[in-house]
Amino acid sequence: MIFAANFKMNHTRTTTRDYIEVLNKKLATKKPEEKVYIFPPTTALDRYEGEITVGAQNAYPANNGAFTGEIGLEQLEEFGIKTILIGHSERRDILGETQEKVAEKFAFFKEEGFEIIYCIGESLSIRESGDDAVMSHLLSQFEGIDLTYDNLIVAYEPIWAIGTGRSATAKEIEITHAMLRTKVSAPLLYGGSVNPDNIGEITAIDNVDGVLVGSASLDAERFASMILS
């Protein structure tokens, strides 16, 4: 099972270091097949001790250059970062990343051999239009994406479930992941209001290979309890 924590714009360099220290201690007894990822904010990227994989929430698809406010491959390589989130709905919807840009990032970091957690998800109005509308939207987010890439993980995160406390139901997740499974053999994560109370039910669903957790991951002990539960 894969447990990934997306800190978004939370935590600092100091608190991320403390967090990882606590998590490492708590996870000393975890089963080796449980893979743990942390995506801290850019300012907290570093080389950290332990088995937790640290990845970037975002980066620009270039080695370096005149891209004000961005970081690229050179800045990630300084800390040995080889894992990246691409296509998160907050980057698509709040920061205006088009499918074309997302696909360009994917191609660049694929070429560099990164492990890519590629995020897709639909809005509430699409969800309310039914399973066919959901699937056709999700497939449109695969445009320009090499689904056969062997270092790929796909995260299904319905936008209406993110940060709302309202996770998709087990049935909705099961149906959507089953549809996704017919298109992609990569591990499939679910994200959207995953918390200690619902993680057991969610990870038991067929074709759910792990979770991508936002708010409930911000406290190290709480996130550890989800991994160990």
- So which residues are the catalytic ones? 88, 157
Token pair in block for residue 45: 């990227």
Taking Cα atoms as reference points, which of 83, 92, 149 lies closest to residue 116? 83
Q: Which of 194, 205, 208, 220 binds ligand 13P (CB under 6 A)?
A: 194
Q: For residue 177, what are its two tokens?
A: 């992941």
Enter the tokens of residue 57.
């929430």
Chosen residue from 40, 55, 158, 192 binding ligand 13P by CB under 6 A: 192
Q: How far is CA 85 from the centre of its chain?
A: 5
Q: How far is 9 from 140, CA to CA, in rounded Å? A: 27
Copy the structure tokens of residue 122.
Answer: 């639909």
Contacts 24+ apart (CB under 8 A), 92-101: 93/159, 99/140, 99/141, 99/143, 99/144, 100/144
In the bound state with ligand 13P, the residue whose beta carbon lies nearer, of 103 and 194, is 194
- Binding to ligand 13P by residue 40, rule CB under 6 A? no
Among 6, 83, 141, 203, binds ligand 13P (CB under 6 A): 6
Cβ at position 167, least distance to ligand 13P in Å: 8
Binding mask 82-121 for ligand 13P (x = CB under 6 A): ------x---------------------------------
Binding residue for ligand 13P, selected from 87, 158, 191, 210, defined by CB under 6 A: 191
Task: Map tokens 């961005």 to a residue.
Answer: 70
Q: Compute the least distance from the CB of residue 10 to ligand 13P, in Å.
A: 10
Q: Is 20 in the site for ligand 13P (CB under 6 A)?
A: no
Footprint of ligand 13P (CB under 6 A): 6, 88, 157, 162-163, 191-194, 212-216
